[in-house]
Structure 1
Amino acid sequence: MLPLENVVLCREAQVSALMALFGERHHFSFPSIFIYGHRASGKTYVMETLLKTSELPHVIVNCIECFTSRILLEQILNHLNCLNSSKDESTSHIACDSFNDFVRLFKKVTQDQGVDDQTVYITKRNVTVIFLSQIVWEKFRPNTGCFEPFIMYFPDYSIGHLQKILSHDHPPEYSADFYAAYINILLGVFYTVCRDLKELRYLAALNFSKYCEPVVKGEANERDTRKLWRNIEPHLKKAMHTVYLREISSSQWEKLQQDDTEMGQLKGLSAHAHVELPYYSKFILIAAYLASYNPTRTDKRFFLKAVVQKSKSSSQHHGKIKKASFMKKHEKTSNHLLGPKPFPLDRLLAILYSIVDSRVAPTANIFSQITSLVTLQLLTLVGHDDQLDGPKYKCTVSLDFVRAIARTVNFDIIKYLYDFL
């Protein structure tokens, strides 16, 4: 087995601290450990590697999937019951209705498995509960008080750490220096917008064949970095449009890479793909598009709930109102040809409340999703944060893109666009 430093890279301090907490197999460990940090910072990988390498009895459960306490307790007991059972040996399902039953059954299972005198780790007699979270402990601490866990922070990987970890994945048919040069180019493009190790690893694996294409064809050697860069540059620019969104599959992406067309084809492909955004983020994006391309004076016509609720049968008449009633004599150019216009935050929220079926309160969650859309460059913040009249935004996505989003939530956006009346 490889040494831990060759398996768990760039987490030497965290590994050393955890090993000190675990101690020997029969030692009492800390009752609870709370590990937090951003996504893809190595929390789960480090913990699973240490537990498996040290051969410590442990159970790993996903608390998001266990939406009731009964499911959570039963998963712990049944996983623990399978620790020393062979694959061919069937084990009966253990039912657990309450926490009192859990304590009784836990003692029985640990005795049957022969681990009653060892620390059992639940990544969630001596039991150490390890919590892995992206949220700080203060958000979970109950008001009635509790035993404080040992808190450990996993910082984000630096660019040097990412370079070392990603370079460690180099294919055996190429030299380590050649792959390290490729990773250096990849991070030079993506590090400012993406520091998620999983996303970067996905992008590295997806684009490496295009990077080494001149070498395979015999048009360049491994040290001809200038020619290799010219070959990979346009494809990395295309990849910038799919960071975090995962709007196309690997097979679709490879097919697109084989085409020499421009970004227009990527947008066309995006229109038929499913973008993995939160439910309300999709409606926020739709509302932002409507605010960007509809004149302000048409909001009452399209989004006033009193008008819509007054007569449901008027839906057929909805599209028959003449565009000339809104249009000034000099207004002849399509708003889509003029491009998106900035809109204030309160107008965005007003449109959002009108198009969402259920009531949406202006909570921090809604505001944070707007910020996330700005980070993803689907919205653009116009002006400065310190302006007195509040922030203004513009929607930067295409019509095909927003129509694809609208279809996933069964919303016909064309009926609410002024240019299509």
Structure 2
Amino acid sequence: MPTPAHAAAPGSPTRAGGRESFQKARRRASLQALLLALPLIVFLLSTFIAPIALLLARSVQNREVPDSMPALTRALDAWNARGVPDEQTFALLASGLRQAQQSGQLGTVARRMNFAQPEFRSLLMRTARGLPTDAPPAWKPALIELDERWNSPEIWRLLKRAATSPTPDYVLAAVDAQVTPAGSIASVPENASVYRPAFVRTISISATVTLLCLLLGYPVAWLLANLPAKSSNRLMLFVIVPFWTSLLVRTTAWYVLLQPGGVINSVLSGLGLVSHPLPLVFNRTGVLIGMTHILLPYMILAIYSVMKSVSPVYMRAAQSLGAHPFTAFYRIYVPPTLPGVGAGCFLVFVLALGYYITPALLGGAGDEMISQLIAIQTNTQLNWGLAGALSAYLVIFTAVFYFLFNRIVGIDRLRFG
């Protein structure tokens, strides 16, 4: 059949021009979308991504000694770490201490060295105060006479490690490991291990809270999804209202309720159910109760959003065919709701990993989560390097959990509503 005169042949200039116009239109639309999203991208980069990246970079930075004593840093870098350094290195130490004291950086250097060995701060401060005004004939015997600890090779090896940047010290310390004088990596003594038990404790508490939220949230979500719309909306307010209340207020309320003279123990004692107040606060029980109450709405909403799409007709059909109600529920109703269960578990577990306020107020001495230790390092110890290393491990663990969860459950296929 003859081709119409107005139809463009394949490869003709008219069809090529049409494709080019279409591609230009797509590029223009993409550029417009990027420009609209640019303020949000800049906001996220400046207030979220950049601060996290800077904190994680602190885990390998070691700039206190190199910035305050650059000449001594170069000398220590060339030193072979055997015995005690030579006269020139001692002279550079004295010069560096004097310059750091005059510039106000000696406190920063002393705090950094105190992370390596608690007595190092007193050593540096005492040496800086005792430096003679006139240079002695030889600095090595003068400094050793000022403080015998300068004759210890271990002190100089620690100073050499502190003058090295980047450093693995913080990354190792965050998992209770250290570099031995021989240069190998070894774990700290069991009685000095702090951070590995904290990571295990954090995972254990987060998993327990996730399980409790699932056990309590699934029946509530089922009730909300199967009630008439009017009743369901009224009950939904009880799930949503906690989001309008401050986290600190809710945690403090549990502190009042759970204490030995609180409402719960008073009611139990009044009913004669207990003879002594139950230990419900400043322990693991208080932490689990408080975190479960706060994170439970996330689980309920995630499961409810999926349950609303499951038609009750399936259950009635299964029962009409002779299935027991429990069998129909387990084999017909539960499988379609698993995406919501997976989404809720993932959301609650990840949120629980970084919880701080609730464990700090309701937990005891043996219930510190890793977020509390990070706060101690940043607010009390001022050890930003170790805080960055702990944060890096927490981020890595969350990413690994996401990867495993995605492989096992397929989180990219989960429906969040």
TM-score, length-normalised on structure 1? Answer: 0.28
Higher relative contact order (CA 8 A, sep 6+): 2
More strand by proportion, 1 or 2?
1
TM-score, length-normalised on structure 2? Answer: 0.28
Larger radius of gyration: 2
